[in-house]
Amino acid sequence: MTLPPKPPAREGRVSLWRYLRLFRKDVLSAQPARLYRAWMAEFRTPFFRSYLCNQPALVDLVLRQRPDDFPKSDRVREGLKPLLGNSVFVTNGETWKRQRRIIDPAFEGGRLRDVFPAMLEAGQGTVSRLATLADGQPREIEAHTSHAAADVIFRTLFSIPIEHSVAAQVFDAFREHQRTQPVVNLGALLPLPRWFPRLRRRRTLRTAAVIRRLIAELTTARMAEIEAGTAPDDLATKIMTTPDPVSGACFEPDEMVDQVAIFFLAGHETSASALAWALYMLALYPEWQDKVAHEASEIFNGAWPDFADVGRLRVSRDCFRETLRLYPPVPMMVREAACPEHFRDRDVPRGSQIVLSSWHLHRHERLWTRPDEFDPDRFETGNGRSCLREAYIPFSAGQRVCTGAGFAMIEGPLLLSMLVRSYRFETVATRPPMPVAHLTVRGQDGIWLRISPR
């Protein structure tokens, strides 16, 4: 049986400096193979201790039971601060709670129905663009899923298509920013004081500044439309006009730039990764691709879907969920112990880094039946279902669960169904993808597929 691609794990012990070199190259392959079976692992360096937790009870403790005792690690902020500022992705405590109180209402169920037409338009645009590429020649699909995901974000957030001049500039600048952004920043590894200057690549700082300037243009224009009473009823308008129910204050302009930056990073980058791997999974397992195509043809019935149809895309949704299990876009989350802890007979000092690896948790040999196989049926038959709540966290869990999780679970199956109904996707034997973790899990040299009309 053909198994989905998986990076080779490191065997044996290596020196700290060797590990850091491997880590900078790829986070996933730098980790030892034992993490696919271990409940917990401790890593010691001269600068900090970290504990990777795979035991479901520990994951539940950190994310659901006592999240305030395990805030987001400041080390996560180091590499992302030039782009994200103080966005909801990196803040903690009362600041984070205030931000979520303002943001969460925009992503409630009723609002998702409202933005569905914009999501559908983005899908239609993607189907049209791929028509010129459906010639059976090898095509790098990540570039196109990235384009599709960016189109969804701009249409739902600002009611503009990816072809809009500012949207296109943000998209181009973000692609350049990804190429300049290192996997790990020096400040994430060394306990540098706050006053110590951070060494960042000039291109990273420049591209981040360009993106933030362009986003500021969009938010400034939208504020003017809100004041004039002409603003469209989209996500940006909803977020910018929602007051904090506690203080009564809305986001300041600079705060809104921070939030839009993380919406673009989280909503675009992660969705692009997930959709590309989902298409590859269906190409690798053509019997599942045919099931998705058949389901879409029956439900769409010769037309484009409406919002009610999305809930009926069960096969597509299960394939997408299984893809998120095997290739979680954000493979690791880092928290920090705010007080001394005691995990599995080990003392965990205050300030220790607590690593929750969805990559290892989702493939854990003691939690999942046939963990490395692509088996969408496990979500329907109960094969491995008992592990889902504790061991399936593609969107995190608890109070810090991704606010866009519901959005993503509409977007992913919808786009997947629309594309597979229109085209057949086949693997390229000479160019198998190898997963690597940068900002998200991507193909080391891209994900190549052959596309032909169905």
CA distances from 38 to 53, 62, 112, 292, 334 (A): 8, 17, 39, 35, 18
Model pTM above 0.85: yes
State how far the Cα of 317 lies from the Cα of 291, in Å rounded to an integer: 12
The two tokens of residue 22 are: 């491997």
Residue 167 neighbours by CB under 8 Å, 6+ apart? 150, 154, 158, 160, 161
H helices then E strands: how many in the chain?
Answer: 19, 11
pLDDT tens across the length of the chain (454 residues): 789 999 988 777 777 677 767 776 778 888 899 999 999 999 887 777 889 999 999 999 999 999 999 999 876 666 677 778 888 988 999 999 999 999 999 988 778 899 999 999 999 999 999 999 999 999 999 999 999 999 999 999 999 999 999 999 988 888 777 665 544 444 454 454 454 444 456 777 888 889 899 999 999 999 999 999 999 999 999 999 999 999 999 998 889 999 988 888 778 889 999 999 999 999 999 999 999 999 999 999 888 999 999 999 999 999 999 999 999 999 999 899 999 999 999 999 999 999 999 999 999 999 999 999 999 998 776 555 555 667 999 999 999 999 999 999 999 999 999 999 999 999 999 999 999 987 789 999 999 999 999 9
Strand-pairing partners, residue 346, are 343
Contact 27, 79 (CB under 8 A): no
Phi, psi of 355 (to 5 degrees): -100, 125
